[in-house]
Structure 1
């Protein structure tokens, strides 16, 4: 992840420097800042490029961002931006609609039309994830999207909560993805955003079926991760939580050459492995770690762990030089797949 900061720029030049950075990094803006704030202005941005999707994490002191008709006539790259507030406050205004944002909220805006945004109008620094991508990549009718610009999607419930959690996790892990994972991120990110935006419009029927399926799978994966510690987690409970049949749930996983039970088991084993490798948990009994991740039987856990990694849990914990200890499973993308023909219980 590349980082640009005003920290090394003389104080009197920082806001001018940031104006130039903003225009080159995103689209040309008219930036304004109160004189008393400009004298100690600070901004820092981390930049991740994932194919056609640019992800940036911006931390800044209060200022105003404007995209005017004049600037649009000068340069119009025809991109959408989605902001997800990580910390602080913000206001976004477009098409006569104004969105007051709290941490976790999302908002869509179209850089081809005028808008205005207030970073942290309350006075303290704000932190914001910004996604920028070509308009053509959002598979929703243009009229529907225009109705949504400038309207907050609350991050506290429903698909808004799923999208918010996904984006906040993306912001936290931007520098952890290897090239193969980074290549998969744009499609997954846009699917989750499309489902959340369609939900905000009450227009789920306008979402392409393949996008709806991938968004559903993202919700299912998130639900499983949140409930791995429940020993009663099962295909039936997962299906019921998402208002689908167990048969359809199994069909979704089969399309990915996985099994539901196998995916649950892999996530549980990965969690146990991380805890067993953590020196801070060295005195915690193995059976306690296993139970925390949903293994109600110590013997079943030991057998499953050895089958997956070639070590017993005790041997793994005693092997400080084991290369597997360096494994860091990503919470957004899971590449592990069950062995074909494997049907052990979770």
Structure 2
């Protein structure tokens, strides 16, 4: 069998899960600063499959923010390219002024030698990651670096060949023996080189809607980080992102909602999760409401009943809270 290891955070105490996940990803790719709305009870599963010098790692995990700073790059750079085949969920990456959004079936390319920030969406993400030494990509380094920030489709062409190979490989590693690992790694390296070369030949045009989608994901992440702030308003959100309120409204209109509705719905969802958490049974309902931006109990009860069809007190007494 291939050399393979697995981490399931649910096998660990809740208090240790996020730290273990951070340490694991730091060893898989490179040291990073990680943050998550779900850090208190983090859910993630990762398999690491060694193919000689190449590593393939399928993973499913909760919302996450990855930050690799210039300081971390200076302190530790394994000099690898990273590719992520996004199978479920969405994300947005930025490298200084460069930004790009990713959705299911996109392949995202990155490098341990550059600083970056990546935000995933609020829903869990499933992906297949690949770590490959820069030296194994048979292209001049300055040309290969131009792929960073590209969005490569896995639905057609050479991107599809790479995606199909990775999906088949991780679905069942039992047929392969240890001696197959370097051969499989060489196939992955050849396919990645071909993907990079093809992408360099293609014209790189990022449509305006891609920039808008990336900005929307970043704004949503900002809102989720500041939900407990009673003063969080569309004006504050717009100012934090150096855009007008009218443009902010248009971004959320394209999502089929409004800024205020998104803020309210996220606050209610967090309050609902805490009301059904047995560990928080002793926390009064009004205290739960206040910590998620509802200082007035009556207002919280009305909004909660409208969203979920029952008042918060009834939900807390229900079977899911027992």
The answer on whether the counterparts of 2:134 and 2:141 sit within 8 Å (CA) in structure 1 is: no
* Residue segments in structure 2 that go unaligned for 5+ positions in a row: 203-322
Could you tell me how far apart the structure 1 residues matched to 2:179 and 2:11 are? 34
Pairwise CA distance, 1:180:
3.2
Pairwise CA distance, 1:96:
3.3
Residue 60 of structure 1: aligned partner: 61
What does the per-residue CA deviation read over 1:157-213, in whole Å, with 9 as the maximum and x for residues that have no partner? 22222222222222223444222332310111111111111111107xxxxxxxxxx
Distance 1:125 1:17, change over 3 A: same
* Residue segments in structure 1 that go unaligned for 5+ positions in a row: 204-346
Residue 150 of structure 2: aligned partner: 151
Could you tell me how far apart the structure 1 residues matched to 2:127 and 2:191 are? 18
Could you tell me how far apart the structure 2 residues matched to 1:151 and 1:127 are? 19
Query: Alignment RMSD, CA only?
Result: 1.7
What does the per-residue CA deviation read over 1:119-170, in whole Å, with 9 as the maximum and x for residues that have no partner? 3x1x221111111121111111222222210111011222222222222222
Greater C-alpha Rg:
1
Q: How does 1:32-181 map to 2 (within 5 A)?
A: 32-34=35-37, 37-94=38-95, 96-119=97-120, 121=121, 123-181=122-180
What does the per-residue CA deviation read over 1:293-313, in whole Å, with 9 as the maximum and x for residues that have no partner? xxxxxxxxxxxxxxxxxxxxx
Residue 31 of structure 2: aligned partner: 28
Could you tell me how far apart the structure 2 residues matched to 1:175 and 1:71 are? 37
The answer on whether the counterparts of 1:54 and 1:131 sit within 8 Å (CA) in structure 2 is: yes
Could you tell me how far apart the structure 1 residues matched to 2:89 and 2:14 are? 23
Corresponding residue SS for 1:143: helix
Corresponding residue SS for 2:94: strand
What does the per-residue CA deviation read over 1:262-295, in whole Å, with 9 as the maximum and x for residues that have no partner? xxxxxxxxxxxxxxxxxxxxxxxxxxxxxxxxxx
Write out the 4+ residue segments of structure 1 that deviate beyond 4 Å after TM superposition: none
Corresponding residue SS for 1:65: strand
The answer on whether the counterparts of 1:18 and 1:43 sit within 8 Å (CA) in structure 2 is: yes
TM-score, normalization by structure 2:
0.58
What does the per-residue CA deviation read over 1:33-69, in whole Å, with 9 as the maximum and x for residues that have no partner? 12xx222311111011111001111110001011101
Corresponding residue SS for 2:190: helix
Give the total of aligned pairs.
199
